[in-house]
Amino acid sequence: MARGSVYTSRSSFLQIVLALQWGTWLGLAPTLLSLQSLLLLLSLIFLNLPWLWLLGAAAASWAAASVFLDPYLHSLGSRLLESTRLAPLWTELFQWPVLPWARFNNSMVLGAFVLGCLALPLWIVLAWKLRRTH
Amino acid sequence: MKKGLIRWNFLIPLGLVLVLILGYAFFFFDRHFRAELEAQLTEWNDSEVNIASLKTGWLTGSLELKGLEFSDPTAREWNRLEVGRLRLEFTWQGLLHRKWIIQDALASDIKVQVKRRFVAKAAKRERSPLSLMSMESSAHIQESSQFIERGTVQDPFQDLKWDATPSRAATQGLEAEIQAFTRSWQGRVEALPDTAFLMPGEAGIRRVKTGESQAGPDEQVARARLAEIKSSMEQLNEQSTQLLNRIQSLDDLVEQDALVLRQYLAVPSLDFKDLAMELSLPEAKRWLRFVESYYGYWREQLEAREQVQPYRFGRQQGSDFRFIKTSGDMPFFWVKNLQVTSTETAEGTLGTVSGKLSDLTSDPALVPDPTRFLVQGEFKQSQILGLVLDVSLDHRTATVDDRIALTLASFPVHGRMLTSSPSLTLGLYQAEGSMNLEFIRQGEQSNAHFRSNFERIVYRVESGTQRVKDVFDEILGPVQAIQIDADGQGTFPKLRWTFASNLADRMKEGLQQKLGQEVAELHAKLKDAVLVRIGDEKKRLSASLIEQLGPIRDQAAAKEAELAKVIAERSAEKQKGI
């Protein structure tokens, strides 16, 4: 969406941010058979999110992951899971009920989720600029 | 109108989604799960596994399988094992932690060796080569039967490769040498002096041609030249005699030739050193597959879990990490207790089986006791009696201690092949068998012992040649009971196997007796054939040498005669002068 063009969406700043974030998480996730992916999908029933932003972010993230990001997702996840300082945290977290279904012990699932989190500031800035301009 | 973040009218989409989820769970999930489970079990079994029905108990956390059929990888038209009903009850505590903990399970209505409705498919997975399964059998019996068969219909020497013999190489060398020898002597004889060096001189006195010796009167020169020719001729004779002697010495290569040619005779090796393996391997493979394949697969899975898997490229891949608490943690998979029970009925092929499997797990270090599986059974309808399977797998510490013992007191044998080739089909048409298998792995060291016995045997000996049939009928006649032993030692799965069998001993003795004389006669005939062939070669080479030396000798003799004549003339002239 080029700057200066007429942006006619009636979505709020928060809706755009969440749509981009949800799309990023769903697109990067290597599998939808995980707790957080199912929760994200389920939450779409309750949340009014702009589909264009959501599907655009999901498609772009999925394509980026498939083409070149996957090894980096694995690398990021592996570093976090192999970290000796974080090991007690992971050990404790994996004892919690339900949480293991998130499959954060998989390097790619964790890497994708963390990279999705890291993208959040970018989406905030993007959404803020869009709302301020229009 | 601007929409808020929360969709307050979510009931309709929520209902729709719930209907879809429930619809899938009730109508499709079991079908998909069954297909996936069949695929996984097929991989483990190395041959097709079928499940007639699968029912997931969503509220009870249970799984019920009916008509579980494990086909036999060695005979795919048969099911090795059928479990009529298998019920697994998972614990909710485990499921909440994404752990598959089966508190209680029941396997009932057990059948073994049941004919399948259709031939099973093989598993697609390539297993790592197992030492016994990848062993290739020798072909002593096949070679022997073919030898007997050939002796009645074929010329045994038709496939001999004479060009490969040492005498052939030596003959070719001699041929080249004769060529070089005669060429060389041809040149030398041509260069020998003749009377041309004598020129007519004044008053009948001949003088030495310019450029030739000035040593004295021509008679002296002629005598010297004559002596030179004689000396050369002596050399020629001496060397040609040597060459002829070497041609004669081709006889020394008869033994070597015969030895080389024996390999083309297709004569069976009478030491029969691998005969025990050849006869034991099919039977040993049939039963030891149980250890090498099933145990091997389980061990591979277990050891793979102890390591972080390398990254594989592609979506839905990555590596799974494990974070285990030193105490109180649950294993990923754990069958705490599985009861096996089955009662024979009058009309069916059900067996009377009772047994218990306990503590089968993917993480032995988290379980207090080793895996135990003890089952006993009898299948009277199938005439399989005294089945005892006792398995103990202890991987709780770094020093592995696994023990597997399988005993079958009696089982029927129908149409079991020992060896099969176009010239001979040899096997057991009917017999009563018993077997005992023990496998122990402690640390890295593994030992396996397998023994199989057959009694009340009706042999199956079929051949298109009556003589082959007669020979094997006669050899097998006294063998009323067969015992097969296989011992393996080493690091699993690369065990070093040794085999022994009374059938192999008898077969060895009988075949050595039957074939020994024929093989010796054939070897003698071969030696005679070699002698004849070398004799022909000798004649040919000698004739060739003599033939080529003829003109050379004639030329030298002519020169000699001419010189002698000149000398005689000169002597006569001198005498006249005196």
Q: What are phi and psi of B342, to 5 degrees?
A: -160, 145
Secondary structure letter of residue B571 according to DSSP: H
Residue from B458, B450, B454, B496 nearest B476 by CA: B458
**Per residue in B61-78, pLDDT tens?**
999 999 999 998 878 899
B510 three-state secondary structure: helix
Q: Is the pLDDT of residue B324 over 80?
A: yes
Q: What is the mean pLDDT of residues B219-233?
A: 80
Cβ–Cβ gap A46/B6 under 8 Å? yes
**Residue B244 pLDDT exceeds 50:** yes
Query: Looking at residues B347-356, what average pLDDT do you find?
Result: 83
Q: Is the pLDDT of residue B500 over 70?
A: yes
Q: What angle do CA B362, B364, B370 make, to 5 degrees?
A: 120
B408: tokens are 């079958």
Decide if pLDDT at B337 tops 70.
Answer: yes
Interface of A with B (CB under 8 A): 10-12, 14-15, 18, 30-31, 42, 45-48, 65-66, 70-71, 73-74, 77-78, 81-82, 87, 90-91, 93-95, 97-98, 100-101, 103, 105-109, 111
User: What phi-psi label fits residue B22: left (phi over 0), alpha (psi between -120 and 50 degrees) or beta?
Assistant: alpha
- Which residue in A31, A78, A95 is closest to B319 by CB distance? A78
Task: Give DSSP secondary structure letters for B432-468.
Answer: EEEEEEEEEEETTEEEEEEEEEEEEEEEEEE-SSHHH
Q: Do A71 and B4 touch (CB under 8 A)?
A: no
- pLDDT for residue B379 is more than 90: no
pLDDT value of position A88: 92
pLDDT at B211: 41
Q: What is the pLDDT of residue B215?
A: 39
Q: Do B319 and A74 touch (CB under 8 A)?
A: yes
Per DSSP, which regions of B96-184 are E strands? 100-115
**Nearest-by-CA chain A residue for B332:** A100
Q: Which amino acid is at B429?
A: Y
> Any idea what DSSP says for residue B427?
E
Give the distance from residue A34's alpha carbon to the nearest chain B alpha carbon, in angstroms: 11
Q: What is the DSSP string of B352-388?
A: EEEEEEEEEES-GGGSSS-EEEEEEEEETTTTEEEEE
Residue B308, CB-side half-sphere exposure with 13 Å CA sphere: 15
Q: What is the pLDDT of residue B129?
A: 53
Q: Answer yes or no: is pLDDT of B133 > 80.
A: no
- Measure the CA–CA gap between A122 and B204, rounded to whole angstroms: 132
The tokens describing A35, both together, are 């707790």
Taking Cα atoms as reference points, which of B378, B341, B371 lies closest to residue B357?
B371
Q: Is the pLDDT of residue B510 over 90?
A: no
pLDDT at B237: 87
Helix, strand, coil % in chain B, rounded to nearest 5? 45, 30, 25
Q: A-chain residues within 8 Å CB-CB of B17?
A: 42, 45
How many contacts (CB atoms, under 8 Å) link A and B?
91
Within an 8 Å CB–CB cutoff, is residue B5 touching chain A?
A: yes
- pLDDT at B210 (0 to 100): 43
User: Quick check: B97 contacting A, CB < 8 Å?
Assistant: yes
Query: B262 vs B542, which has greater pLDDT?
Result: B542
Q: What is the ipTM of this complex?
A: 0.87
Question: Do the beta carbons of residue B63 and residue B88 sit within 8 Å?
Answer: yes
Contact A109 B325 (CB under 8 A): no
Cα–Cα nearest to B387, from B371, B368, B411: B411
Q: What average pLDDT score do residues B502-513 get?
A: 87
Q: Give the pLDDT mean for B158-187.
A: 87
The structure tokens listed for B457 are 């045997």
| Inter-residue contact B481 to B513 (CB < 8 Å) | no
**Distance of alpha carbon A48 from alpha carbon A18, whole angstroms:** 10
pLDDT at B348 over 60: yes
Question: Per-residue confidence at B141, pLDDT binned at 50, 70, 90?
Answer: confident
Name, of A37-51, B130-144, B463-477, the range with top average pLDDT. Answer: A37-51
Distance from the Cα of B317 to chain A's closest Cα (Å) equals 7
- For residues B153 and B468, the answer to whether their CB atoms sit within 8 Å is no
CB B360 within 8 Å of CB B371: yes
List chain A residues with CB under 8 Å of B13. 45
Three-class SS of residue B351?
Answer: coil
Residues 6+ apart with CB under 8 A from B351: B110, B111, B112, B342, B344, B377, B378, B379, B380, B381, B382, B384, B387
Q: pLDDT per residue over B174-208, tens digit each?
A: 999 998 988 888 888 888 777 666 544 433 344 44
pTM of the full structure:
0.70
Asked if B373 and B367 touch (Cβ cutoff 8 Å), the reply is no
- What secondary structure does DSSP assign to B22-69, as a single string? HHHHHHTHHHHHHHHHHHHHHHHHTB-EEEEEEEEETTTTEEEEEEEE
CA dihedral B182, B187, B190, B193 (to 10 degrees): -120
Cα–Cα distance between B566 and B152 in angstroms, integer? Answer: 74
Mean pLDDT calculated for residue range B255-268: 81
Evaluated on CA atoms B449, B40, B82, B84, the torsion sign reads positive
For chain A, what is the HEC assignment?
CCCCCCCCCCCCHHHHHHHHHHHHHHHHCCCCCCHHHHHHHHHHHHECCCHHHHHHHHHHHHHHHHHHHHHHHHHHHHHHHHCCCCHHHHHHHCCCCCHHHHCCCEHHHHHHHHHHHHCHHHHHHHHHHHHHHC
